[in-house]
Each structure stands twice: as C-alpha cells, then as structure tokens.
C-alpha cells in the first residue's frame, strides 16, 4: 500500500502526531494484508515505549477517526486495515484453521448496493463482507493428513497463503 500521508491522515482525524501513533499508522499504511493488534505490536516493538494496551488505544482512536476498518473474526482476534480511498471496502477470507486473513477482490455489485441503500430509509454506517472457511493450504494439509490435524502449535496463526 503506502499511499496515505501519515501527517495528513492524523490531522484529518483530529489526532495529534505522537511517535506511537506514527509507528502504528506506518505499520498499517505499509501492510499488504490486514493486521491484528499482535501483528502491529511486533512491527512497532522497536519504536520506543509502546505496549499492547497502547496499541489497542491507538487502534480505537483510529477507528473512531475513520482511519481504519476493523475486521472481526470467529476466534475473537480482530484485524485492522486502512479505510481510505486507496483501500476501498472489499471482502475478506478468514481461515478458521490457520487463522490467516486475506483480502479478496471487490465484488462488482458492492458500489451499486451502496448507492441503492444510501437512498433508502436506512442509514448505513459500515459494510462488511467476510467469508470464513479453510484456505487452500489448510485444505491440502488436511487432505494429506486424513485425521484432520494441522501441524503447528494450537492457536498459532500462519501468514496468508
């Protein structure tokens, strides 16, 4: 990604520029896929005094300022991605086995749906289209191992295929 200007993004959201906000926003702007708070913390751990609580507070302020979108999963670990013109709303695929999240191409009907519903009585605040299942890699691994057990420690998330 890397299209959004950090300073302008914070300013438009009415947030002051701190080294911690800049570090978290930089991680999100340059991410190729949505990131969990844990992913973000790993990427910014060398950026001074920042801990898990700080990351969650920053993400909450970014969400309130419409800087990021939060993507909920069935396992309780949510992911975050930029909510900007360079990254329009699009569907995601969450693998329930390896717990990876992948962006999917925008469905052709999304913009039409939004136009139609904006003229209706409802006030749309968010749009989320998420699919859950088994990714290609996990399906292949399960096919090779009929017992259905995936290798790796339980709860460990692998990166997207």
DSSP string, 79-145: EEEE-STTS----EEEETTT--EEE-PPPTTHHHHHHHHHTSSS-------EEEE--HHHHHHHHHS
Under DSSP, is residue 68 helix (H, G, I), strand (E, B) or coil?
Answer: strand
- What does the alpha-carbon distance between residue 121 and residue 112 come to, in Å, rounded to a whole number? 16
Is the model's pLDDT at 41 over the cut of 80? yes
- Average of per-residue pLDDT across 141-153: 70
Dihedral in degrees, nearest 10, Cα atoms 52, 72, 77, 133 = -160
- Tell me where in the chain the CATH 1.10.10.10 domain(s) lie: 1-83
Considering the chain, what is the average pLDDT of its residues?
85
- Tell me where in the chain the CATH 3.30.1490.190 domain(s) lie: 88-161
pLDDT tier, 7 (very low <50, low <70, confident <90, very high otherwise): very high
pLDDT score recorded for residue 125: 74
CATH number of 88-161: 3.30.1490.190
pTM, full prediction = 0.79
pLDDT tens-digit readout, 51-109: 999 999 999 999 999 999 999 988 888 999 999 888 888 889 999 999 999 999 876 66
Under DSSP, is residue 1 helix (H, G, I), strand (E, B) or coil?
Answer: coil
Mention the CATH class of domain 1-83. mainly alpha
């Amino acid at each position: 990604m890397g299209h959004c200007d950090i300073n302008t993004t914070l300013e438009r959201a009415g947030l002051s520029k701190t080294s911690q906000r800049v570090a978290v926003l930089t991680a999100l702007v340059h991410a190729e896929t949505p990131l969990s708070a844990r992913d973000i913390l790993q990427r910014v751990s060398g950026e001074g005094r920042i801990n898990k609580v700080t990351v969650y507070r920053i993400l909450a302020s970014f969400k309130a300022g419409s800087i990021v979108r939060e993507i909920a999963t069935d396992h309780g670990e949510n992911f975050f991605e930029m909510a900007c013109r360079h990254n329009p709303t699009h569907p995601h695929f969450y693998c329930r086995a390896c717990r990876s999240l992948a962006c999917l191409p925008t469905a052709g009907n999304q913009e039409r749906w939004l136009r139609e519903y904006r003229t209706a009585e409802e006030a749309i605040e968010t749009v989320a289209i998420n699919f859950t299942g088994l990714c290609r890699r996990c399906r292949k691994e399960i096919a090779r191992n009929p017992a259905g057990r995936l290798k790796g420690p339980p709860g460990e998330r692998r990166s997207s295929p």
